[in-house]
Every structure is written in C-alpha cells, then in structure tokens.
Amino acid sequence: MNAPVLRVDDLRIDYLSDPVVHAVRGVSFDLARGEILGIAGESGCGKTTLAYGITQLLRPPAQLTGGEVTFLAGGESIRVDLLEGSALRAFRWDRISMVFQGAMNALNPVLRIRAQLEDVLTTHRPAMTAVERRARCATLMEVVGVPAERLEAFPHELSGGMRQRVMIAMALLLDPPIMIMDEPTTALDVVVQRDILREVTRLRDELGFAVIFITHDLPLLLEVSDRIAVMRAGEIVELAPTRELYENPRQEYTRELLAAFPSLTGDGWTGRNPEENE
C-alpha cells in the first residue's frame, strides 16, 4: 500500500441533545495516497457525521469531543487539532475537498456555474488572474466530461449527473490530495451512477488523489474501492481490502449487509462456500 496521506485517530463526535447521542465513537483509520477507501453502513450509523467531522463542517448540536487528524501529503506531517477547528478550516479545499450528496442543494441556484467555480480560486488562489481562473475552470469542466460552455448555465439548467460532475470539478480545482464523496450518486439513475463512478476512478488513476467514498450501497463499493470500512452505531466494526471483505467477512454484521443485496442469479451472497446454500 502507498504511503498514507491522512490519518484519523480516535475521532469522537457527539450530538449534544437530551440524552447525548454518541454518533462517532473512537474511529481510527489511515488513507493511502491514490486509494479509494469505501465507508459503508446502514442509514444513521455515523458515516456522514464522520465526513463532516473530518472537514469541520459540523453544525450544532453536533460537536467534536476528541481525536486527531494528521495530514501527511507532500512529505509533510501536519497535525490538526479537531477540538479547536480553525487549523482544519485552513486546509479545506486546498488539502481536502468534499463532494456532497445533493448537488442541487450544494450549488447556489442564483449564480452561474462559472461564478461558483471561480469563487473557489479567488478565495484560495488570489494571485491568479481572471484569465487564468477562466482557463482553469474550463479545463476542469472538460476533465469531468462537461462542455466548457456550460459554465454560463445556472444549476437548474443542468441535469443531475452534470451538476454532480460540476461538484467534482469544484472539488478538484485546487488539486487537493484528498477528496471525500458523501453518497455522490444516491439521487441519480443507475446509468448516470455508472458514468460518475467511471469518471471518479479514471480521475483518481490520472491525478493520483485519494478518495473517501461514503455510501450505504455496499455492492457499489465492492466495484470501486481498494479497501472498505464497515460502520455500525458510530464505530468501524470491520476494515479490510475489498476482495478479502467480500470473500471472508469477519463480522456477522458485514455478512448481513452483503446478504441484504440480491444477486442477479437470485441466489444471494453466499460467501466462500456457495454449496452451503444449496
């Protein structure tokens, strides 16, 4: 495995309600350079809360109560104090970017796509000229498979798949070594889902960034991930290479998740011993 670019150590997130909800409970993992790490689990298990905690996007009553995140990209080792938060905000988009589940909600409906992409560059790359910003935005649109002329469109003028590709382009604008994708294909039909997944893996292969891919769709992760972490009740209960997790899951919960998805042949998941189901 390649050298790690991100290390999450004993991350804890609570919702300060009555009673307190321990949404993420001591999660630890490393993310390797160029790796796609899938995080799977049922709705409410803490997947999205984990992503928002890493990127410091939590809103009250959610609160980080412990843990460390260390960025190791570019030969550096930079510890970020999650309890303080401001240090991590300095890394957002530049070191770590995020593709949100609802692209239409993530994009400003009253601004053209160009304005929203250029705003990232204006904020994080103030030395760039207007010409350089326009060229960079056009290039990234073409990279993700959207014609550059669509930069003049408003979000509602694009299809769901194109809006999600715009969000991927935005996440790649600053060449971050890490991208978090939170259920990026949930609202899309299966054909568009397939196109988006192919685009993500192609870009990963070409650009070398690492991906944390969050979804409840375990079969999808079996296709695109190098490793898979299975979450349950705020904890990672199993973390293994994709093939190993599929062929020899250690936890009963993982086996239940695999069995929950029907096979095209109608036999269902059977693990290493298909004759047991005959």
pLDDT in tens, 170-225: 999 999 999 999 988 776 788 888 888 888 899 899 989 999 999 888 888 998 99
> Can you tell me which residue has the tokens 């997947």?
47
Rounded Cα–Cα distance for residues 2 and 264 (Å)? 35
Which range, of 54-68, 120-134, 152-166, 259-273, averages the lowest pLDDT? 259-273
Rounded Cα–Cα distance for residues 264 and 93 (Å)? 40
Once rounded to an integer, what is the mean pLDDT over residues 129-148? 95
Domain spans of the chain, in order of start: 4-95+176-277, 106-175
Once rounded to an integer, what is the mean pLDDT over residues 58-74? 85
Once rounded to an integer, what is the mean pLDDT over residues 34-54? 93
Once rounded to an integer, what is the mean pLDDT over residues 119-131? 93
Answer for the pair 24, 215: CB distance below 8 angstroms, yes or no. Answer: no
* pLDDT for the residue numbered 80: 60
Positions of E strands within the chain = 4-15, 21-32, 36-40, 62-71, 78-81, 96-99, 178-182, 210-215, 227-232, 235-241
Paired sense of beta strands 235-241 and 227-232, if any: antiparallel
User: Whole-structure pTM over 0.85, yes or no?
Assistant: yes
Confidence of residue 73 (pLDDT cuts 50, 70, 90): low
* pLDDT for the residue numbered 277: 44
4-95+176-277: CATH topology is: Rossmann fold (3.40.50)
Alpha carbon separation from 11 to 68, 208, 236 (Å, rounded): 6, 26, 11
- Which has more pLDDT, 89 or 71? 71
Paired sense of beta strands 227-232 and 36-40, if any: parallel
